[in-house]
Amino acid sequence: MKIKRAVHGLAIIVCSLFAFTSGAAVIPSDLNLNGSVSFDTANSLPFTGTGSQTASMTSVSGGVGASSSVNNVTVTGSNPLNAIFTETGDGVGVSASMNGGSGAEADDFIFDIGFNLSNTSLLDSYIISFEIAFATAADADSQIANGDAFVDSEINFFDSANTEFFFSDLTSDVSFGDEQNGTSTGSFGAALSDSGTYTFDILLGAGASDSFTGLIKMDGGEFAGAGAFLASAEAFVSITNVIRNTTSTPISEPPLFIAFVLFLITVIYRNQSTLETRTSHETM
């Protein structure tokens, strides 16, 4: 996987994560590109106490959107939500959030994203460009001095070798301190946020295939009876461009071989002309 990083800070409205333009380009028929977004029912746990955890999963295929929703651990609609990508702007994503009051606990609210790519051409390679539009937020609070509340919101993406190539990870923690992308912020229980776009390219050679995956996860809890927590995580992955990188050209015949063929044609033509001349003289 060839990756090109470009992160630009911006404020992302939730609905803009799932927007796509009408000026889409058709993806070449040589490419089989598909993906999915799913709620991890095996590893996600029900929310307990006062509060909620909800999400909306979205796919865009051929410019047409589809969606499924999650309330606590109940899915309404397809899970996984699959898509075949046929034009630029197609993609999949999720927008998830949770909030809890005193004594509430949310363990492992998890979503998975997957992309599978294959090139059926025996001649051409392609550069496929992707964009991850993302936003994370986390905030834990306490009304007492020795409060105990935390919440974590994270987005991670991995290449086909399971090597992480992008992440956004926020932890707001009243007791142990806050972190943004693994680095302490020096605060305790502050409101944290991170958002932007991340772009990368995958070079798919003739006859080659590739893949990448994403993980969206949140968890939190309030354990002192006098606090609250809330978090959100949003990511939409779309195909932004496809470029034919190389095209094989027919191999030209060696010049010596061509000269030899021309020589044979000349000899045959001269022999034919000589034969015709002799025949003409004999008949006279």
pLDDT digits 0-9 by tens, 154-180: 999 999 999 999 999 999 999 999 999
CA nearest neighbour of 244 among 122, 102, 128:
128
pLDDT at position 281: 45
pLDDT at position 278: 45
Check if the beta carbon of residue 202 is closer than 8 Å to that of residue 117. Answer: yes
- Structure-block tokens of residue 100: 């809890």
Rounded to whole angstroms, the Cα distance separating 52 from 98 reads 6
- Indicate the DSSP class of residue 254: P
pLDDT at position 47: 96
Cα torsion 161, 162, 164, 165: sign? positive
Rounded to whole angstroms, the Cα distance separating 235 from 201 reads 18
Question: What is the rounded average pLDDT of the residues 33-45?
Answer: 97
Does residue 5 have a pLDDT over 80? no
Whether the full predicted model's pTM is greater than 0.85, yes or no, is no
**Rg of the chain, C-alpha, whole Å:** 30
Q: Which residues face 8 on adjacent strands?
A: 197
Strand 125-142 versus strand 74-76 pairing type:
unpaired
Mean pLDDT, rounded, of the chain: 85
The string of pLDDT tens digits covering residues 213-256 is 999 999 999 999 999 999 999 999 999 999 998 754 332 333 43
Rounded to whole angstroms, the Cα distance separating 4 from 161 reads 17
Please give the biggest Cα pair distance in the chain.
Answer: 129
Cα torsion 260, 265, 268, 270: sign? negative
Rounded to whole angstroms, the Cα distance separating 32 from 241 reads 15
The string of pLDDT tens digits covering residues 89-144 is 999 999 999 999 999 999 999 999 999 999 999 999 999 999 999 999 999 999 99
Question: What is the rounded average pLDDT of the residues 3-8?
Answer: 34
Does residue 203 have a pLDDT over 60? yes
pLDDT at position 247: 56
Helix locations, the chain, DSSP H: 255-282
- Classify each residue of 40-58 as buried b or exposed e, where b means 16 or more C-beta atoms within 10 Å of its C-beta: beeebeebeeebebebbbb
